[in-house]
Amino acid sequence: MYRIIITAGGSKEAIDNVRAITNAATGTLGSKIADEFLNSYSEDIEELIYIYGVGSKLPVHEAKVRRVPVESAVDLLDTIQRELKLSKTDIVIHSMAVSDYKVDRVLEKQGDAYKEIDNSTKISSDIEELAVILKKNPKVIKSIKECAPRTVLVGFKLLSNVSEKELLSVAKRLMDKNNCDFVLANDLKDIKDGKHKGYLISKTGRKETFFDKNEIAKGIVKNCIDELGSRK
């Protein structure tokens, strides 16, 4: 019986207790992957843990799905590490768009200088000029194989308006750096009007091309199940 973790949607990094830095990720692809697992392999799945950014699209299926909302990258990291330590996990699909940076501090311009202000509550909208200092977030994907070396890991790489060669090169570096079994590489220019072109590359050097989210979901699920089968 398989235990699967899927991350989906986007993270959110608080500026104060009202405002936040986020992104446009919707979780649509992650939800389709979850539903494809349950449509095709429900009898073989013990539990699917769906970790999602607040407001993201959820799987249609509810049986065998445990939904876990998170906000920041640190929330996500803590949640994934807890789940990986809780029980053996066979597959991790890390499709969530995680912010590379979090807010370190907020400064108000006062004369010729900037002074740090309290951002634990709503920052006054009367302030004319602010500076938000960002700090690098920990890399969630790097921690996954460190916690669970035998899990099948699928990473995702999204770039914008680059050549296929560059996209695949960056995706390969992501795979090598984080010990991924597969990476889904896609370019923002190829995601529009209901279409979603993506390249699924494997650590063995194989490449498959898909042209919409349903094809991508089916391809990822099949490759993950086949990879597990090859290890028996």
Evaluate whether 14 touches 137 at the Cβ level (below 8 Å).
no
Residues 20 and 83 in one domain: yes
Integer Cα distance of 210 and 199 in angstroms: 6
Range of the domain at 196: 2-100+137-230
Residues 96 and 116 in one domain: no
Residues 32 and 129 in one domain: no
Predicted local confidence at residue 194, as pLDDT:
87
Residues 88 and 126 in one domain: no
> What share of the chain has pLDDT > 70, as a percent?
100
pTM: 0.94
Residues 181 and 87 in one domain: yes
First to last CA, the chain: 13
Residues 154 and 61 in one domain: yes
Number of domains in the chain: 2
pLDDT per residue as tens digits for the range 11-50 = 999 999 999 999 999 999 999 999 999 999 999 999 999 9
pLDDT per residue as tens digits for the range 140-191 = 999 999 999 999 999 999 999 999 999 999 999 999 999 999 999 999 999 9
